[in-house]
Structures are given as C-alpha cells and as structure tokens.
Amino acid sequence: MARRHNSVVADDAHLATLGHKQELTRHFSPLSMLGLAFAILNSWTALSASLSLALPSGGSTSVLWGLVTAGICNLCLAASLAEFLSAYPTAGGQYHWVAVVSWPKWVPILSWVCGWINCFGWMALTATAGLLGSQLIIGIIPMYNAAYEAQRWHQFLIYIGYNLVAFLVNAFGNKIIPLVNKTAITWSISGFVIISITVLACASPNYSSAKFVFTGFLNETGWPDGVAWLLGLLQGALGLTGFDACAHMIEEIPNPAVEGPKVSLRMLKTRPPIADFAQIMIYCVAIGLFTGFIFLMCLLFVAGDVEDVVSSPLGPLGQILLNATNSRAGTVCLLIFPLVCLLFAGISILTTSSRMNYAFARDKGLPFSRVFSRVHGSLSIPLNSLMATSAIVVIFGCIFLGSTSAFNAIVSASVVALGVTYAMPVAINCLRGRRMLPATRYFKLPEPFAWFANLLGIAFVIVTTVLFVFPPDLPVTGSSMNYCVVAFAVVLIISVIQWFVDGRKNYTGPKLDLDETVLTAANTREDSRFGGPEMASPEGSDKKFGDEA
C-alpha cells in the first residue's frame, strides 16, 4: 500500500511539473491501456469492414501489399513518437511535443495548429467506427430482402445508435471502461481466429488462386493504375492509425513515466528480441499489421469473383463471408464479431477523443476552454468535452445526407489529420538535429535507425496527405468529390480566426520546464528493477527542452 501511495504521489508531482493538477482517476492498468489501444486499431476488423476502399482501387495487391506498406511506415512513426511519449507523458500528446522541440518564438502557433488538427482528427476517427458498423448492418438486410434499397438516412440512424451507446458508456461507465477494454482484446482475438478458421474450412477446397491473392489487380476508379493503387493505401492507413491513444490517456495510468513508454511483455513471461523497443504504440501497430495481413489473406482466398464482391449490395465483407459459408445465418453470426468490435472501438475512440479535447482546453487552446477543461465531480470525466465531441461526431454523420463519398471523406480526414500530427514533432526534431529530447527518457532508438524511421514516417505522411484528398473516383461530381479537403479548410479557417480572436493573447503552449529529476529518478528506479541500463545525461547541451540548441 505504501509503495502504491508513493507512486500516486510521484505521478501527481510529475504532472504538476508540467503545470497541471491531477484531476482524472488513475484506474487504467497497463493491460487495460493495451486493450484500449488495441480496440481503437482493431486492425483486422477495420481492414475487412473497409474493403470497399481498396478492392476497386488496386484489387488484392492494394489490399495486402498496401497494408504492408502502410504498416512499415506506421511502425516507423510509432517508434518515433514512442521517444516523445517516454519523455513527456501528458494527455496533450503531439501538440505538447511540438512545443517541446520547436524554436521558442514559434512554439505557440505551431503547438496551436497541431492541437487543433489533432482534435479534429480524433473526432473524425470517432465517426469511422459508427460508419463501418452501419455499413455492415445495412449490408445484412439485402440477404433476406432482395428488394431492399438502402437509404442514406437508414445508415445515419444506425450510425447515431452506435455513437449514442459509446457516449452513454463513457459518460456513466467510466469505472468499467478498463474492463471493457480488456474484454475488447478477448473478443477481437476470438473473432479473428473463429472467422479465419470458419471461412477456410467452409470454402475448402474451392479457394482462389495464389496468383489472384498476391498479384491480382483491379482498377474501377477511373484514375491511372499507379494512382489508383496509391489511393488504395487509405484502407491500410485507416487500419493502423490511432496508435497515439495511449498518449492521450497517459494521465489515467499509474507511474506514467515508466508504464507509458514501456508496457512490456513481462506479463506474458517472455522477452522477444524487440523487447528493447517494447512500447505500447509499437505493439499495437505490429499486432495490427500481422493479424490484418493474415485475416485479409484468408478473405481473399475465399472471396470468389472479385467484381461481384465489389458491386455487391451486401458490401465486400458480407459477400465474401456468404460466398465462403454459403449460409445466410452463418454469415450473420460471423458478422456479429466485427459489429461488436466496432462498438468497442467507438467507445475507446470516444474516450480518447474527449481526453484530447480536455487536455487542449486545459492549456487554453479551444474556445470556452474553462468549460471544456472542467472535470465532472462525481463522474470523474471531462463531461463537457465528451458532449462536445459527441455533438461534432453527429454533425460529421450529416455528411451522409449530401454526399455519395461521405465514407471516403471522413476516413480520409481522420487518417490525414492524425498523420500530420504524427509527423509534426518528428519533423521539427529532425530539423533541429534530433537534439531536442532529453537523454533521461526510457525509450531511445539507436541513432542511425532513428533517422531512418523518422524520415520514412515523414515521407509517408507527406505522400498520403496529398493523395487522400483526391476524389476516390473519376469523373468527379459535386456529390462524389472528396470533402476531406473542405473539412480541413473549415478547421484551419476556424483555428486561424480563433487564434487572432483569443489564441495569440492567451495561448502560450503547454509548460515545458519538466523537472528532469522526476523523470530520471523514475526511469532509473525502473531500470534497476528490470536490469536495464542506467539513464544518461541530457543529449547535447540543451538545459531546457524548449530552448534553442
């Protein structure tokens, strides 16, 4: 008990050095935090439910090798951000890290822009869970009623239902969310195994050829083949984004300076070669890449005619499962797994999004910051921030009523926005010679690999930021254009106006002068427990992390 009390006191003191009072309850264990991040990525679910993004835009080569491409690049981004998280474990995440490494006179504006884009990205990502779930449910109805014609408002109502459940669980079930996250892992892994085995067993021996699975190409977008394949990367990028969730939830786990960057596999009693990079963000991306590749490969082997799959009113996943099982009841039973996974994802993403908005409002980055940074006394959550996030998500859903490419637009907006915030702190640190982070951090990449990972991750974000605002199909009409760029423009305009109205007067960025002794002591203590090396002195000659080198 004494050790636990001392840890809580140290956690509160650590946060106080960053200029904030501890208000949120630290009730997430490392396993439940891993569950939250895993529920958010839920890669096999997101990838299979979003097959409509990649199958017509590159076929099976885009589905599989696009995932591998996105996976490698996102692993580099996750490893790059793990260095920041280990040094600065606060709910602000990227906008805080941008302030840490930026040139002093640019700290407020760069941090402000990053914070706004990150808030927008997480709200858009919250919308994707309900979008995918509603698409799957709408696809079930034609199996039993061939005359059914899906209306946009039908999907909109299902979308609202998903987000309403997520809101109620977050608002009134904060104490059980760690249990929900642990359950999400079990349910997701069970679904992955059961569906994979079932479709392979039922379809045997009528499998698609290996040539089709690994080299098949399809382009129904109207774009040139190369551009179409690159646009198909959106599916893989969606399935592996959101790994910064643990950063925004870091203030709700004990001993964050150690647990955040280092949630190791010691609970599994193993230590693989990658244990030196044992970090929760990296684990989630790696697990997502592995399970996603295996699951998509299984689906492609039992897919049947790919053109029928693409055009099916059941949706690609529903049609593939029906082709494999030849049973409507069996297909519906199997679809229950991704449907529940997406509900878990919606709950976890909304949790994270509300904490991101709360953290930014706490640093006076949002309009009415006092309101959105308030923590409800009895519920122990930032309720106002949660309600605001849910309201914006409902507004996102209204895009359904006016655009045939609403799904692509919202998915693109979430992936692009989060990608930009992943790249910003890494790019600025690279421009400053990678000397702006303290050496007294637990997680450090070897310097040659660090430069490779940083630069590859930045290049991936630049390319996808340009590509994912392209319309998904040609020719383009007013209802089929990609409104991602419009949404981005609206956010940037609002943030610029708010900057001149309020930001330049009141926003100075998060507090940067973290007491090194707190982080050094915590890391050194943990190293001595697990046999790790002693931590070195700060890198370079930087004495204060936000100062010029």
Q: What share of the chain is helix, strand, coil (3-state, %, to 5)?
A: 70, 0, 30
* C-alpha–C-alpha distance, residues 512 and 101, integer Å: 10
Look at residue 439 and give its three-state secondary structure.
coil
In this predicted structure, the answer to whether residue 453 has a pLDDT above a threshold of 80 is yes
* C-alpha–C-alpha distance, residues 297 and 294, integer Å: 5
At residue 106, what are phi and psi to the nearest 5 degrees? -100, -5
Tell me if the pTM is above 0.75: yes
Q: Which of 245, 231, 243, 228 is nearest to 457 (CA)?
A: 243
All residues at 6 or more sequence positions from 196 whose CB lies less than 8 Å from its CB, including other chains: 294, 295, 298
In this predicted structure, the answer to whether residue 490 has a pLDDT above a threshold of 70 is yes
Mean pLDDT of 324-341: 94
At which residue do the structure tokens 């998904």 appear?
A: 472
Beta-bridged to residue 57, according to DSSP, are 219
* C-alpha–C-alpha distance, residues 470 and 408, integer Å: 10
At which residue do the structure tokens 């949790």 appear?
A: 351
DSSP string, 444-486: ---HHHHHHHHHHHHHHHHHHHHHTTS-SSSS--TTTS-THHH
All residues at 6 or more sequence positions from 225 whose CB lies less than 8 Å from its CB, including other chains: 217, 219
* C-alpha torsion sign, points 88, 534, 11, 262: positive
Q: Which of 316, 287, 110 is nearest to 188 (CA)?
A: 287
Q: How confident is the model at residue 21 (pLDDT cuts 50, 70, 90)?
A: low
* C-alpha–C-alpha distance, residues 176 and 174, integer Å: 6
In this predicted structure, the answer to whether residue 430 has a pLDDT above a threshold of 90 is yes
pLDDT at residue 420, rounded to an integer: 93
In this predicted structure, the answer to whether residue 261 has a pLDDT above a threshold of 60 is no
Look at residue 253 and give its three-state secondary structure.
coil
Q: How confident is the model at residue 521 (pLDDT cuts 50, 70, 90)?
A: very low
In this predicted structure, the answer to whether residue 140 has a pLDDT above a threshold of 50 is yes
Count of CB atoms situated within 10 Å of the CB of 439: 15
* C-alpha–C-alpha distance, residues 76 and 79, integer Å: 5
- pLDDT greater at residue 117 or residue 8: 117
pLDDT at residue 255, rounded to an integer: 52
- pLDDT greater at residue 106 or residue 10: 106
Look at residue 279 and give its three-state secondary structure.
coil
What's the gap between Cα 140 and its chain centre? 27
pLDDT at residue 370, rounded to an integer: 87
In this predicted structure, the answer to whether residue 271 has a pLDDT above a threshold of 60 is no
Mean pLDDT of 523-531: 40
All residues at 6 or more sequence positions from 191 whose CB lies less than 8 Å from its CB, including other chains: 44, 45, 337, 338, 340, 341
* C-alpha–C-alpha distance, residues 376 and 217, integer Å: 53
pLDDT at residue 252, rounded to an integer: 64
First to last CA, the chain: 43
Query: How far is CA 150 from each of CA 138, 334, 392, 399, rounded to the nearest angstrom?
Result: 7, 22, 25, 16
468, 412 contact by CB (below 8 A): yes
Angle, alpha carbons 395-55-344 (nearest 5°): 45
Q: Is 482 left (phi over 0), alpha (psi -120 to 50) or beta?
A: beta
Buried residues in 366-398 as b, exposed as e (16+ CB within 10 A)? beebeebbbbeeeeebbbbbbebbbebbbebbe
Percent with pLDDT over 90 in the chain = 33
Q: Which of 280, 247, 257, 267 is nearest to 7 (CA)?
A: 257
Two tokens, residue 480? 């089929």
In this predicted structure, the answer to whether residue 274 has a pLDDT above a threshold of 90 is no
At residue 219, what are phi and psi to the nearest 5 degrees? -135, 105
* C-alpha–C-alpha distance, residues 221 and 371, integer Å: 45
In this predicted structure, the answer to whether residue 484 has a pLDDT above a threshold of 50 is yes
Beta-bridged to residue 211, according to DSSP, are none
DSSP string, 340-385: HHHHHHHHHHHHHHHHHHHHHHHTT-STTHHHHTPPPTTT-S-HHH
Radius of gyration of the chain (CA): 23
Beta-bridged to residue 219, according to DSSP, are 57
pLDDT at residue 493, rounded to an integer: 85
Q: Which of 388, 359, 386 is nearest to 97 (CA)?
A: 359
67, 214 contact by CB (below 8 A): no
- pLDDT greater at residue 46 or residue 481: 46
Q: How confident is the model at residue 375 (pLDDT cuts 50, 70, 90)?
A: confident
- pLDDT greater at residue 401 or residue 260: 401
* C-alpha–C-alpha distance, residues 102 and 114, integer Å: 12
Two tokens, residue 412? 């693109």
Q: Domains, the chain, ranges and CATH?
A: 24-506 (1.20.1740.10)
Two tokens, residue 102? 């930026």
At residue 528, what are phi and psi to the nearest 5 degrees? -65, -30
Q: Which of 350, 359, 409, 367 is nearest to 494 (CA)?
A: 367
In this predicted structure, the answer to whether residue 407 has a pLDDT above a threshold of 50 is yes
pLDDT at residue 443, rounded to an integer: 78
Mean pLDDT of 83-96: 83
Largest CA distance in the chain: 71
In this predicted structure, the answer to whether residue 72 has a pLDDT above a threshold of 90 is yes
Mean pLDDT of the chain: 80
Residue type, 318: G
514, 88 contact by CB (below 8 A): yes
